[in-house]
Homo-oligomer: A and B are copies of this chain.
Amino acid sequence: MVEAESAPDEKPARPIRDEDGVMDEGFVEQVSQAVLLSDLTTLRHLVGDLHEADLGGLLEALDSEERPKLISLLGGDFDFTALTEVDDAVREEILDELSPQTVAEGVRELDTDDAVYILEDLDEADKKEILDRLSPAERSVLQQGLDYPEGSAGRRMQAETIAVPPFWTVGQTIDYLRETQDLPERFFEIFVADPGHRFVGTVRLDRLLRTKRPVSISDLIEDDRRVVQADDDLEDVARMFQRYDLVAAPVVDKSGRLVGVMTIDDVVDVIEEAADDDVKQLGGVDADEELSDPVREVALSRFRWRFISLIAAFISASVMAMFEAQLSKLVALAVLAPIVASQGGNAATQTMTVAIRALGTGQLGSWNRARFFRREMIVGLLNGVAFAVITGTVSGFWFGNLMLGVVIALAMVATLVVAALAGVVVPLALDKAGIDPAISSGTFVTTVTDVVGFFSFLGIATILLRLG
């Protein structure tokens, strides 16, 4: 990607980000200097025409005491939209430092979706202080957005829409768009609504542009009428956008009245966040954890996740403890037991990962569950046999005890089949019970495979090696 060549009268492009999209250190340093020296001229020159995403990235890169200072220095020139582009922890810290008056003035300039995004995490008292400084009309629009439940479309919609009556012509509509000043800054579609402001249909801008002036708007309404309910879950809305390649969709309330519009830019963030949550939760990290969270918070949330896995580890250990007599007779068992358990854990994790992603993206339905289950069981059995042969052979020769090789081979097949079973069944069962499988499957599944791995290996050893 490049920026097109600059016209001669423009400033040369500064390197703001490197090719991986990481903020440039030199640029951050220059800004930091200008903030420290309160050098407004340099600061304006550096950040005056930055895109909100770059301004947000810059804020994150600055030290925490420099951030509110930069905002105060820029005053009315600071685009509050940038605050929607930073980590929650950074935003909260900045908002704490700014006066309610400053925040109210900044928020007033924003689209409602951005304003709601900035206000929603504040505590009630701060929120009220800021809202009280807005006009009743401004306040009521924001309050409406804030009243929708967290994670619903109503929270991310833009309340400003363009709606025309169905009986207008293309010409009337174009004249209206040309003459009306107070329209949303950017729009992809116009909506058609009846006199009660009930949603009737959508007209794409390209169709509007390609149609002659006398044609009636009602003739241009799209067949494909996908509508978002204000209380729909944002992740469901995101799937709908993704599936049907939408760039915008009308948001209606329970009585069908048009209350806003969802646009693809917000949806992209929701898709990214949903995937991000899955990755983190599978890695045993809280979905809300962000890079700028303070040590205390991170340590606590990680502790919570791991405490459960510690309990699980003690459960598996107590299975091993049941076989103390056998372990003391043949130490090779102690050396090999973790191999069986860890291979079981890896196999289960593979299956579980695929199941969780397929569930999360709506690819796993009743029509292919049986097929998926069968496939995973066969894969588990095939790889169980393959790894049994390899592990058995290596172990048998290592300890000069071929019967020990047979024992570990048998335990391996049993563990890997159980691993495949657990990897499919646990996420599906949790999903059915309405629990997010990404959060809770991991510890469950590896505890099962540890227990089965230890028990089958040491149990088979007891019998075949006559250690009982």
Q: Smallest distance from the beta carbon of A11 to chain B beta carbons, Å?
A: 12
Are B362 and A21 in contact (CB-based, < 8 A)?
Answer: yes
What is the 8 Å Cβ interface bit string for chain A, positions 338-360, against chain B (1 contact, 0 not)? Answer: 11011100110110111011100
The one of B1, B313, B321 in contact with A226, judged by C-beta atoms closer than 8 angstroms, is B1
Bound-state CA distance A339–B273 (Å) is 33
Residue from B4, B228, B314, B390 within 8 A of A201 (CB atoms): B4
Cβ–Cβ < 8 Å partners of A343 in chain B: 306, 309-310, 313
Interface with B: A38-46, A125-133, A377-385, which one? A377-385
Tell me if A331 is interfacial: C-beta within 8 Å of chain B: yes
Interface residues on A, range: 35 or more
Contact pick for A1, options B188, B206, B227, CB 8 Å: B227
Partner of A268, one of B4, B242, B313, B316: B242
Docked pose: A356 CA to B265 CA in angstroms: 24
Copies in the complex: 2
Contacts of A387 in B (CB 8 A): 303, 306, 310
Contact of A61 among B205, B243, B305, B368 (CB under 8 A): B368
| Contact in complex: B335, A321 (CB < 8 Å) | yes
Name the prevailing secondary structure of the A interface residues: helix
Q: Are B339 and A302 in contact (CB under 8 A)?
A: no
Q: CA A358 – CA B61 in complex, angstroms?
A: 14
B residues less than 8 Å from A350 (CB atoms): 283-285, 302, 305-306
Pairwise interchain contact B316-A338, C-beta atoms closer than 8 A: yes
* A455 contacts chain B at the CB level, 8 A cutoff: no
* CB of A171 to closest CB in B, whole Å: 11
With a CB–CB cut-off of 8 A, which chain B residues contact A20? Answer: 362
Q: How far in angstroms is the closest Cβ of chain B from A273?
A: 10
Q: Does A457 contact B (CB under 8 A)?
A: no
Q: Return chain B residues, CB-CB under 8 Å to A199.
A: 4
Q: A23-B367, A268-B241 are in contact. Are A354 and B306 (CB under 8 A)?
A: no
User: Which residues of B lie under 8 Å from residue A363 when comparing CB positions?
Assistant: 22, 291
Bound complex: CA of A51 vs CA of B245, how far in Å? Answer: 10
Taking the closest CB of chain B, its distance from the CB of A342, in whole angstroms, is 5
Q: Which of B272, B366, B379 meets A302, CB within 8 Å?
A: B379
> Is A204 at the interface (CB under 8 A from chain B)?
yes
- B279 adjacent to A275 (CB under 8 Å): yes
Give the complex CA separation of A24 and B404 in angstroms: 51
State the CA gap A350–B382 with chains docked (Å). 31
Instruction: Assess whether A243 is in contact with B53, with CB atoms less than 8 Å apart.
Output: yes
Contact of A357 among B279, B310, B354, B450 (CB under 8 A): B279
A313 touching B338, Cβ below 8 Å: yes
Are A178 and B212 interface neighbours, CB within 8 A?
yes
How far apart are the CA atoms of A93 and B53 in the complex, in Å? 43
- Between A19, A25, A174, A306, the greatest number of chain B beta carbons within 10 A of the residue's beta carbon is seen for A306
Q: With A3-B225, A229-B2, A378-B299 in contact, is A365–B243 under 8 Å at CB? A: no
Please indicate the chain B residues that have their CB under 8 angstroms from the CB of A17 in the complex.
Answer: 362
Q: What are 19 A-B pairs with beta-carbon distances under 8 A?
A: A1-B228, A4-B199, A4-B200, A4-B225, A17-B362, A177-B206, A177-B209, A188-B188, A209-B209, A247-B264, A264-B268, A283-B352, A285-B350, A289-B354, A291-B358, A302-B350, A310-B339, A328-B328, A334-B334
Further pairs besides A4-B199, A53-B245: 7, Cβ < 8 Å:
A17-B362, A187-B206, A188-B188, A283-B349, A298-B375, A309-B342, A314-B394
Lowest 4 A-B CB distances belong to which pairs?
A283-B353, A275-B275, A334-B334, A21-B362
Tell me the A residues contacting B by CB distance below 8 Å.
1-4, 17-23, 25, 28, 49, 51, 53, 60-61, 174, 177-178, 183, 186-188, 199-201, 204-206, 208-212, 223-229, 232, 236-237, 239-245, 247, 256, 264-265, 267-269, 271-272, 275-276, 278-280, 282-285, 289, 291, 295, 298-299, 302-303, 305-307, 309-310, 313-314, 316-317, 320-321, 324, 327-328, 331-339, 341-343, 346-347, 349-350, 352-354, 356-358, 361-368, 372, 375, 378-379, 382-383, 386-387, 390-391, 394, 450
